[in-house]
Structure 1
Amino acid sequence: MSDQPLLQATGVRKSFGSVEVLKGIDLTVRQGQVVSLIGASGSGKTTFLRCVNLLEEHDAGEILLDGDPIGYRVDGGRRRRLSEARVSAQRARIGMVFQQFNLFPHLTAEDNVMLGLTKVLNKPKAEARDIAGHWLSRVGLAERRAHYPYQLSGGQQQRVAMARAVAMEPRLLLFDEVTSALDPELVAEVLQVMQKLAESGMTMLVVSHEMLFVRDVSHHVVFMDGGKVAQAGAPAEVFDRPQSERLRSFLGRFHGIFGSAVR
């Protein structure tokens, strides 16, 4: 794991109309780290991910990827939007897996994974097919490469979406509640793939309510509340030594699995 920040967010703010959703977020993700964002719905976790991936435009502050400002540059004290070509190039360095699978229903699993490789990275079809086959095998779907999304379970569709994101060789991989749309019995298979990606050294920024997974896999955990970072640290520090009643109350929803510190 490198000490050099891969992602550095400083003072990030975002409003929707009169509602300020992000109120000055500071966050660092180092190469090879798994950083997890936890907190109640509406605390700003997904909005922050979408700002990192340029699906939302942050209103103030700065987000750097490999030292390169995302979306904007500061010129003469003013923020200026980067060109669409530059923004597209930045997006290609950040993969994202969503709550919904967002697969193209008319394409097979293999073709879904190949699409970005051929259209964005301009790889020849034969090379893209080899890469797609490799990653579908890695997520346990080698025998399903010719299947269409309707022929796959929810967990299998989510694993195709993960293979599609990783195949693009992103510098950073974002996960936004990727198990929330799955039946409970399918959650474990998706979390297992995420754990293997983490163990392989993939840099990941994860939003999840799977608290045991977060505790076991994360290097750093960030508890967000009301659009702010309320507490951050190593998993043991956050889960075993919550510093606020708000965090104790949040953790207490998970059946007391984190011990007496949250009771």
Structure 2
Amino acid sequence: MSDQPLLRAQGVRKSFGSVEVLKGIDLEVRQGQVVSLIGASGSGKTTFLRCVNLLEEHDAGDILLDGEPIGYRVENGRRRRLSETRVSAQRARIGMVFQQFNLFPHLTAEENVMLGLTKVLGKGKAEAREIAGHWLGRVGLEARRAHYPYQLSGGQQQRVAIARAVAMEPRLLLFDEVTSALDPELVAEVLGVMQQLAESGMTMLVVSHEMLFVRDVSHHVVFMDGGRVAQAGPPAEVFDRPDSDRLRGFLGRFHGMFGGVRH
């Protein structure tokens, strides 16, 4: 892993009307790292991911990818939104997998993966089809490449969505509670694909309530509470030595899963 952060957030704030959802987030992700965001619903995790991926525009602070501000430039001390062309180019370097699969129902698995390759990256259909086949094979769906979403299970659809994101060769891959819409028996197959990506060196920023997965796969864990980073550190530190009642209470919801937690 590089010593220089691939992603750096400094003092990031975001409000919706009078409600401040992000209250000064500082966070770094280095190349090859898996950083996981944990915390109760409403703590700002998904909003932060959406700011990183330019689906929401943050109100203050900086989010930098490879040292470049995301979504805006500073002129005469003022932030100015980048052109949509430039924003699209930045977004292409950041892949995102959502809670819902967001597959196009009229396209096959292969065509769903090919679409961004041809429309965004400008690759020819033959090359795009080869890349799509490679990544569908990597997520265990080579035999399903001609299937439409309705012919796939939820876990298979989510694996297509992961293949679609990774095929774009993003610098950073974001996962937003990607197992939350799945039946319990399908969760393991999606987490298995994510673990393989982590082991291959993919840089990942993950929002998840799958605590065993977070502990096993992450290099760094960030506990968010009320729009702030309440504790951050290596998994063993966060899970075994929570330094607040809020974190102890949050971990306590997982029924003694972490025997080392001190109360």
TM range (shorter): over 0.9
SS state of the match for residue 14, structure 2? strand
Deviations 1:114-151 (A, max 9, x none): 00000000000000000000000000000000000000
Q: What TM-score results when the alignment is normalised by the length of structure 1?
A: 0.99
Contact 1:251–1:262 (CA<8 Å) still a contact in 2? no
1:189 match: 189
1:90 aligns with 2:118: no
Contact 2:12–2:63 (CA<8 Å) still a contact in 1? yes
User: What are the residue-to-residue correspondences of 1:30-41 with 2, within 5 Å?
Assistant: 30-41=30-41
2:43 match: 43
Deviations 1:150-186 (A, max 9, x none): 0000000000000000000000000000000000000
1:76 match: 76
1:237 match: 237
1:132 match: 132
2:4 match: 4
Deviations 1:25-73 (A, max 9, x none): 0000000000000000000000000000000000000000000100011
1:143 match: 143
Q: Which amino acid aligns with 1:211?
A: M
Q: What TM-score results when the alignment is normalised by the length of structure 2?
A: 0.99
Hey, what's the Cα distance between the residues in 2 that align with 1:115 and 1:84?
19
1:248 match: 248
1:223 aligns with 2:223: yes
Contact 1:249–1:262 (CA<8 Å) still a contact in 2? no
CA deviation after TM superposition for structure 1 residue 204, in Å: 0.1
Hey, what's the Cα distance between the residues in 2 that align with 1:35 and 1:194?
13
2:207 match: 207
SS state of the match for residue 140, structure 2? coil
Q: Which moved more, 1:251-260 or 1:28-37?
A: 251-260
Contact 2:175–2:204 (CA<8 Å) still a contact in 1? yes
Q: Aligned residue pairs: how many?
A: 263
CA deviation after TM superposition for structure 1 residue 261, in Å: 2.0
SS state of the match for residue 49, structure 1? helix
SS state of the match for residue 117, structure 1? helix
